[in-house]
Chain A
Amino acid sequence: MTKKISVIHDEVKNIVLSLAAELKADHDIDNNQTCFDFPR
């Protein structure tokens, strides 16, 4: 089954935020810190 998500694409951060909101509990969303760890 395909998961379809609509996102606002004015800024890249909003794309990731929209994706995160649509996927609800199945994600971590973080600003600037722990999740943004290059390399993974």
Chain B
Amino acid sequence: MTTTKRALIFRDDYGDGYFKSITFDFGVGIIIADCLLKKDLCIEFTKEKINPLKLLFNLNAPITLLGSDIEHRLTRLESLMFSPATSESQTLKFTKDKPTTFLCIHINRKVFEEKLEQFIGDMSVDLETLFRDLNGINKFYYKSFYTLEISELIEEIKSCDLSDFMQSVFLEGKTYEILTLFLQQFTEKRNEPDDLKLLRKSTITKIEAAVDIIKKELDIRISVNALAKRVGLNRNTLQAGFKQLFSTSVNEYMRDHKIERAKVLLENSDLNITEITYKIGINSEAISQNYLKNATD
């Protein structure tokens, strides 16, 4: 495995924070940035023969992409998969005094083809069209909210404290995990265009509050209605938000977290089964057996 890492650390004049890049095999690379700039910054991508496919995930203040005839403004939790026409210049705009945090995955499709070759016949038409455009001739933009699962994976990349070989393997693994989840979301939504409902920022904040409650209060049984009421949303909006951000229902999300918690407690604590079921808020024997079966599978 060949990886190359580069880091740019901003100092006083330009702000505080970093832009870091790491390249992996098969033409895949990432840039991860977390900074507070003191000046507005515009990065113009020069016209090159290679026109990589880019997946930009915004985690913080709005980022704007300007092309010759397009303007995309990405707010927090929005993503953009894009590949402008080769003749088209593109500029990313970052705003000063606001936290700039993003992950951008670059894929040089000409090199990546080697990895995809054996799967080409089995790929969906959408993916094949996207990845077979080796030179990036076709203009392509796909903007959407990304799931909080992807958001958590990006946080794992940002907080990785491994080094050398382990770091490279970890980062490459997480990058492919994000890519897979995103492409799944992309192909599903392409087949369900009516599902592209935008979430308001205030709704996202409330959904995040609901997630926080689920994680912190695993030992308490809480209904979807009660959870929705606590965060100030109605049940349907909460369900729709979870579906959009996590690709799952509220109850499934709760169940998955309870199973994960049960797994951790089974492996790392001296608690007996009854104590564990109380810790994850299950007091029915039949249900707890089902949960623990899932936790041990």
> Which of B6, B10, B43, B158 is within 8 Å of A31, CB to CB?
B6
User: What does the 1/0 interface line of B26-51 toward A look like (CB < 8 Å)?
Assistant: 00011100100001111111101110
| Contacting residues, chain A, for B158 (C-beta < 8 A) | 38-39
What interface size band does chain A fall in?
20 to 34
Cα distance A13–B7 in the bound complex, in angstroms? 9
Q: Determine if B161 is an interface residue (Cβ-Cβ < 8 Å).
A: yes
Cα distance A15–B39 in the bound complex, in angstroms? 19
| Contacting residues, chain B, for A12 (C-beta < 8 A) | 6, 21-23, 29-31, 104, 106
A27 closest partner in B (C-beta): B8
Instruction: Establish whether residues B160 and A23, one from each chain, have CB atoms under 8 Å apart when the complex forms.
Output: no
Instruction: Establish whether residues A26 and B11, one from each chain, have CB atoms under 8 Å apart when the complex forms.
Output: yes
| Contacting residues, chain A, for B19 (C-beta < 8 A) | 16, 19
Cα distance A29–B240 in the bound complex, in angstroms? 44
Cα distance A13–B29 in the bound complex, in angstroms? 8
Instruction: Establish whether residues B4 and A10, one from each chain, have CB atoms under 8 Å apart when the complex forms.
Output: no
Instruction: Establish whether residues A7 and B23, one from each chain, have CB atoms under 8 Å apart when the complex forms.
Output: no
Cα distance A15–B162 in the bound complex, in angstroms? 24
CB distance from A22 to the nearest CB of B (A): 9
Instruction: Establish whether residues B8 and A3, one from each chain, have CB atoms under 8 Å apart when the complex forms.
Output: no
Instruction: Establish whether residues A11 and B46, one from each chain, have CB atoms under 8 Å apart when the complex forms.
Output: no
Which residues of chain A from 7 to 40 have a CB within 8 Å of any chain B CB?
7-13, 15-17, 19-20, 23, 26-32, 35-36, 38-40
Q: Which 8 A-B pairs have the closest CB atoms?
A: A35-B7, A12-B29, A12-B21, A2-B40, A16-B6, A9-B45, A10-B50, A38-B160
Please list the residues of chain A having a beta carbon within 8 angstroms of any beta carbon in chain B.
1-13, 15-17, 19-20, 23, 26-32, 35-36, 38-40
